[in-house]
Structure 1
Amino acid sequence: MTTRGLIVGAPRSGSGKTSVAIGLMRALRRRGLVVAGAKSGPDYIDPGFHAAATGRPGVNLDSWAMAPGLLDTLLSRQADGADALIVESAMGLFDGVRTEDGRSGAAADLARRHRLPALLVLDISGQSQTAAAVAHGFATFDPDVKIAGVVLNQVASERHERQAREAIEAAGLAVLGAIYRNPDMALPERHLGLVQASEHAALEAFIERLADVMETSLDLDAILRAAASLSAAGTEEGHFLPPPGQRIAIAQDAAFSFVYPHSARHWREAGAELIPFSPLADEAPEASCDACWLPGGYPELHAGKLAAAAGFKAGLARFAETKPVHGECGGYMVLGAALEDADGVTHAMTGLLGHVTSFARRKINLGYRAARLLSDCPIGRAGETVRGHEFHYSRLTERGTDEPLAALADALGNALGPSGGRRGLVTGTYFHAIARG
């Protein structure tokens, strides 16, 4: 069977895309279909929910950070062996940066490049016929982005549904489902977005409830008919991040979990082994490994426990004497001298770099980044440009005296100055790497 795909999109964040996408994935899987999930844009958390719903690993498809050939390769691999591919949009369907054609980061880029129709989720709370104007705007905004149909969300009553449905259908768009208000569909959140799938209590039961709702609320047959046959194929390898070693010690627990699925998969396919260890369990990287990776996550929620993890800190210091250690975002915070938690309590970190960070004096830092590396490190060679993003609420309160790791620019190429630090074989930065530029 040819893989059929579509995008679950919306006008904005908070419209219910994630709940619809997860429930739709599981509902289609219940029918005996092999379902694959994907997330547009830089998001660590939703692919975990997609994996739980489908039984297959998730993936990110980011048109700004990933070269077109890499996008083709990742989409082709994700669709391989699947009957249906459901791509969840980030933010609004057309939301991205105003840059070169086809590389805005918006899910609409995927719709154009891969001819994927969009299932538009409209939160109609506080409106009825006006929803038709919104839907009409989406249908006519870009002739290269096809709206397959509309799902009404947060419907208050049969009358409410009828008013919105009739207006949208009169505008020439199909309404493929109506979801009534249901507080049980809410996903728990924290400061960086949703609580991770691995931390969600009774995750399987929750996904099953979402599937129940979608089975009774959506026209699944019509949605499958509206999906398009996928023809993307690619063999792009050059823009993947190289594995930082042959045996990679990788921190993995509630404080360190943000690893992009496409990077981990590529490292394994390139022959590398990923050896997990838990700093929260006071574990150090295995001495037999030849590189250590500290991913992002939530160290600010576990600062006291990390500060008391003497075995982890001593073992990491020994490892760093002869082998490279790299930290991203949360990992970078732990490589520093100290971390101030939300209560204003300062905790000693590993001290392998000299900076200090604070979650008490928080300020959101969010956006795409192009990092020109100033020295060789586990994410690339000096002079190379790596694309990725920043998303954190903690901030540097002391920069320390370490040499900077990279020179950053924003998505439009505006210089943002030096970033991160390097001392010996230890490197770190708030920047999350996605792919080579």
Structure 2
Amino acid sequence: MIPPGILISAPASGTGKTMVTLGLLGAFRAQGMAVQPFKCGPDYIDPAFHTAASGRPSVNLDSWAMGPERTGTLVGAAAGAGLIIAEGSMGLFDGVARRGEAGTGASADIAAQMGWPVIVVLDVSGQAQTAAAVAQGLAQFRPDVRVAGVILNKVASPRHEALVRAGLEMAGQNGMALPVLGALPRRPDISLPARHLGLVQAEELPQLHKILAQAAAFVGEHCDLAAIRAAARGTGTSATSAAPLPLPLPGGRIALARDAAFSFVYPHLLAGWRAQGATILPFSPLADEAPDPSATTCWLPGGYPELHAPRLAACTGFREGLRRFALTRPVHGECGGYMVLGAGLVAADGVRHEMTGLLGLESSFATRRMHLGYRLALPHRPFAGAPARAGLRGHEFHYATVLAQPDAPAARVLDAAGAEVAEAGSFRAMPGGGQVSGSFFHLIAPAGENG
């Protein structure tokens, strides 16, 4: 049985919704409740924190890249739990201008599809009654999205809280009752460190469990957990526990790079491959390991190779083993994995480090430039397990600059507005029948799932 859910969102990024989500997951777990987390939108980092806080793998849901049937199937991960808590991305209604498979990528799309009420986290620092106007605007913006209440964050004092509550009471008198489900005082000591792609990865924080325990205790003390639980609705008719829908399958035995440099892998991707009969064979390039010789293909995910470039350059066993593997079998790299397949990577300090050389790509972090957004890839030839010209939906998020890309382009790539993207990836055929491909594109799902 699939439980009801709530979606934690906010007017904008940076309001504290991740910490609130983690606190709620931990507080309900401390009560003995099984809580299933989800993350709206393309994000690798937050779900790892969700998993640590809840004890259950967090799964991404995305209305631009996934059709309703896929998101409904993925919500089947909540079977056996007592509550769903999904965390939104950016602001509640923030998405792209052009509709994708089932929406614009806004968290509100998922709330509407699943019937989950929204709890809005309001950062009330620097304002008081005006916070009620913001909440009221969110509650009225889309009739198919219900705002069930608010959690006030960064409350400066009891007087400050009283003023904010007075504004919300005024909104209630105007017919827009928005219950205050929590009021969190300022606590700068409860925070998670960040870097350019978001939070520092969960596995990099030795004090993670202490931070999560503090967040759970803090949120549990200052939020009405019973009222939050009672606010949960929906899910039942929009979800199924059926097997995952098919995904592009790169091979029957997939050697998967997995360590601190290669950590960006969506859980639904691995689950989909396994459901289609694939065997996943993890290996660690940072430990100087090569792909399993029994593998039929090799996949290098994204991550933070720039933070480990000197060490990767010194891992001759990995580099030589991957080169031998690529002579006869397919190798594919996404974003960070793509850069490692290249000839060289220039770190932020300007020092160039030799990579595997399977592609001619030269990338640099010495001059950073953000590349961000949804992408539609149309492969020129078989690519990442998909046939030529099969549409793939995904996203791009990195700060690297391409210095050289001499190989054949792997795909035609379009952004969410349909405009051509210059960075189209790389493809190289190998003399022993293998092939090497890579791009900054992170695969989410096949295109054309919206019926």
What is the TM-score normalised by the length of structure 2?
0.94
Partner of 1:72: 72
* Residues 8 and 119 in structure 1, CA contact (< 8 A), matched pair in contact too: yes
Deviations 1:7-35 (A, max 9, x none): 00001110000000011011111111111
Secondary structure at the residue paired with 2:89? coil
Partner of 1:14: 14
Partner of 1:156: 156
Q: Establish whether residue 185 from structure 1 lines up as the match of residue 190 from structure 2.
A: yes
What residue identity is the alignment partner of 2:439? T
* Residues 36 and 54 in structure 2, CA contact (< 8 A), matched pair in contact too: yes
Deviations 1:225-268 (A, max 9, x none): 11104212347879642331121111111111000010011112
Q: Establish whether residue 82 from structure 1 lines up as the match of residue 87 from structure 2.
A: no
* Residues 256 and 298 in structure 1, CA contact (< 8 A), matched pair in contact too: yes
The answer to which of 411-420 and 385-394 deviates more is 411-420
Partner of 1:123: 123
| C-alpha distance in structure 2 between counterparts of 1:372 and 1:240, whole Å | 18
Secondary structure at the residue paired with 2:367? coil
Secondary structure at the residue paired with 2:328? coil
Secondary structure at the residue paired with 1:110? helix
* Residues 69 and 235 in structure 1, CA contact (< 8 A), matched pair in contact too: no
Secondary structure at the residue paired with 1:369? strand
| C-alpha distance in structure 2 between counterparts of 1:125 and 1:238, whole Å | 43
| C-alpha distance in structure 2 between counterparts of 1:39 and 1:203, whole Å | 19
| C-alpha distance in structure 1 between counterparts of 2:99 and 2:56, whole Å | 33
| C-alpha distance in structure 1 between counterparts of 2:55 and 2:446, whole Å | 29
| C-alpha distance in structure 1 between counterparts of 2:412 and 2:349, whole Å | 32
What residue identity is the alignment partner of 2:128? S
Deviations 1:362-408 (A, max 9, x none): 100000000001111223110101000000001111112x1110101
Aligned residue runs from structure 1 range 284-433, under 5 A: 284-400=290-406, 402-417=407-422, 419-424=424-429, 425-433=435-443
Partner of 2:432: none
* Residues 406 and 418 in structure 1, CA contact (< 8 A), matched pair in contact too: no
Partner of 2:141: 141
Partner of 1:265: 271
What residue identity is the alignment partner of 1:412? A
Secondary structure at the residue paired with 1:221? helix
The answer to which of 215-224 and 100-109 deviates more is 100-109
| C-alpha distance in structure 1 between counterparts of 2:45 and 2:335, whole Å | 15
The answer to which of 406-415 and 361-370 deviates more is 406-415
Partner of 1:103: 103
| C-alpha distance in structure 2 between counterparts of 1:287 and 1:5, whole Å | 44
Partner of 1:44: 44
Q: Establish whether residue 436 from structure 1 lines up as the match of residue 441 from structure 2.
A: no
* Residues 2 and 78 in structure 2, CA contact (< 8 A), matched pair in contact too: no
Indicate which of 243, 248, 273 corresponds to 1:242.
248
Q: Establish whether residue 92 from structure 1 lines up as the match of residue 76 from structure 2.
A: no
| C-alpha distance in structure 1 between counterparts of 2:77 and 2:118, whole Å | 18
* Distance 1:65-1:2 versus aligned 2 partners, 3 A rule: closer
| C-alpha distance in structure 2 between counterparts of 1:111 and 1:299, whole Å | 35
What residue identity is the alignment partner of 2:98? T
* Distance 1:240-1:364 versus aligned 2 partners, 3 A rule: farther
| C-alpha distance in structure 1 between counterparts of 2:243 and 2:401, whole Å | 35
The answer to which of 330-339 and 97-106 deviates more is 97-106
Identity between Structure 1 and Structure 2 (%): 54
Secondary structure at the residue paired with 1:256? coil
| C-alpha distance in structure 1 between counterparts of 2:412 and 2:106, whole Å | 25
Partner of 1:218: 223
Shift of 1:52: 0.7
* Distance 1:202-1:98 versus aligned 2 partners, 3 A rule: same
Secondary structure at the residue paired with 1:27? helix
* Residues 24 and 216 in structure 2, CA contact (< 8 A), matched pair in contact too: yes
Deviations 1:141-184 (A, max 9, x none): 11111001000000000000111012113312111100000012
Deviations 1:108-139 (A, max 9, x none): 00111111110000000000111011111111
Name the count of aligned residue pairs: 435
What residue identity is the alignment partner of 1:179? L
| C-alpha distance in structure 2 between counterparts of 1:135 and 1:66, whole Å | 29
* Distance 1:161-1:415 versus aligned 2 partners, 3 A rule: same
| C-alpha distance in structure 1 between counterparts of 2:2 and 2:328, whole Å | 50
What residue identity is the alignment partner of 2:293? A
| C-alpha distance in structure 2 between counterparts of 1:50 and 1:277, whole Å | 24
Partner of 2:29: 29
What residue identity is the alignment partner of 1:285? P
Shift of 1:311: 0.6
Partner of 1:256: 262
* Residues 342 and 360 in structure 2, CA contact (< 8 A), matched pair in contact too: yes
What residue identity is the alignment partner of 1:431? F
Secondary structure at the residue paired with 2:153? strand
* Residues 405 and 418 in structure 1, CA contact (< 8 A), matched pair in contact too: no
The answer to which of 254-263 and 93-102 deviates more is 93-102
Deviations 1:276-302 (A, max 9, x none): 111111111111111111000000111
* Distance 1:363-1:61 versus aligned 2 partners, 3 A rule: same
Secondary structure at the residue paired with 1:433? strand
| C-alpha distance in structure 2 between counterparts of 1:302 and 1:194, whole Å | 18
| C-alpha distance in structure 2 between counterparts of 1:166 and 1:240, whole Å | 51
| C-alpha distance in structure 1 between counterparts of 2:277 and 2:440, whole Å | 28
* Residues 45 and 201 in structure 2, CA contact (< 8 A), matched pair in contact too: yes
Task: Point out 4+ residue stretches in structure 1 off by more than 3 angstroms.
Answer: 234-240
| C-alpha distance in structure 1 between counterparts of 2:271 and 2:169, whole Å | 43
* Residues 390 and 430 in structure 1, CA contact (< 8 A), matched pair in contact too: yes
Shift of 1:39: 0.3
